[in-house]
């Protein structure tokens, strides 16, 4: 029987391309939510409720493997706000934790409930997953590595900042992190 990973890709992401393909290539079955189509059209709270239900009903055990990326990480982290600390193993890549600005290109990104995660972390009320790690690029304007480091420090999740990398970190680096996470 194949081992299974619960995967939440970034906005508009599919389960079996990109990072999902990397998980599949490591002989894991992938379950999760594509962040496009009907799921993308749902209200933000409905998305959180679906992710929470998926985790609680099917992946609520210490050896469970979860991989979340970008906006998928944002959904997972918001679902975690409504649960007891998640007992499985969570790999968080290039997470969105709130709003961000990229002044050089005059770009801004403000997801729903942009302040909730940082506020819960600063108040000490965030229910931290029991086994999680975060990886983010130093040049990732969407994730905002400085804010990710502050968030990780506040909640006790180790954060690795990959120097010179943006939102899509190097394939060899991500592959190595996946290999360690999926052993």
69, burial (CB in 10 Å: exposed 0-12, middle 13-18, buried 19+): buried
Which pLDDT belongs to residue 103? 63
For the sheet containing 89-93, what is the strand order? Answer: 28-32, 3-8, 65-69, 89-93, 131-137, 159-162
Q: What is the rounded distance in angstroms from the CA atom of residue 57 to the CA atom of residue 30?
A: 16
Which pLDDT belongs to residue 137? 97
- Cβ-Cβ contacts under 8 Å for 151 (sequence gap 6 or more): 97, 117, 118, 121, 157, 159
Task: State phi, psi for 138 to the nearest 5 degrees.
Answer: -65, -25
Q: In the chain, what are the domains?
A: 3-181 (3.40.50.1820)
Which pLDDT belongs to residue 107? 65
Which pLDDT belongs to residue 116? 94
Which pLDDT belongs to residue 101? 64
Which pLDDT belongs to residue 114? 81
Which pLDDT belongs to residue 145? 94
Task: State phi, psi for 159 to the nearest 5 degrees.
Answer: -120, 130
**Closest alpha carbon to 73 in 86, 60, 62:** 86
Which pLDDT belongs to residue 125? 96
Which pLDDT tens digits describe the chain residue by residue (183 residues)? Answer: 579 999 999 999 999 999 999 999 999 999 999 999 999 999 999 999 999 999 999 999 999 999 999 999 999 999 999 999 999 999 999 999 987 765 666 667 778 898 999 999 999 999 999 999 999 999 998 999 999 999 999 999 999 999 999 999 999 999 999 999 998
Coil, strand or helix at 22: helix
Which pLDDT belongs to residue 102? 58
């Amino acid at each position: 029987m194949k081992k299974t990973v619960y995967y939440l890709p970034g906005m508009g992401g599919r389960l079996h391309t990109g990072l999902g393909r990397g998980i599949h290539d490591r002989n894991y079955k992938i379950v999760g939510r594509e962040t496009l189509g009907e799921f993308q059209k749902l209200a933000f709270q409905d998305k959180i409720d679906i992710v929470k239900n998926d985790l609680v009903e099917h992946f609520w055990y210490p050896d469970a493997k979860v991989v979340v990326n970008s906006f998928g990480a944002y959904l997972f982290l918001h679902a975690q706000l409504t649960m007891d600390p998640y007992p499985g193993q969570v790999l968080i890549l290039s997470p969105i934790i709130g709003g961000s600005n990229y002044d050089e290109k005059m770009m801004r990104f403000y997801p729903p409930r942009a302040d909730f995660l940082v506020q819960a972390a600063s108040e000490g009320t965030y229910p931290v997953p029991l086994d999680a790690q975060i990886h983010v690029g130093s040049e990732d304007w969407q994730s905002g590595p400085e804010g990710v480091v502050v968030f990780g420090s506040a909640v006790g999740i180790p954060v690795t900042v990959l120097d010179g990398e943006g939102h899509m970190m190097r394939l060899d680096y991500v592959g190595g992190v996946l290999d360690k996470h999926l052993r």
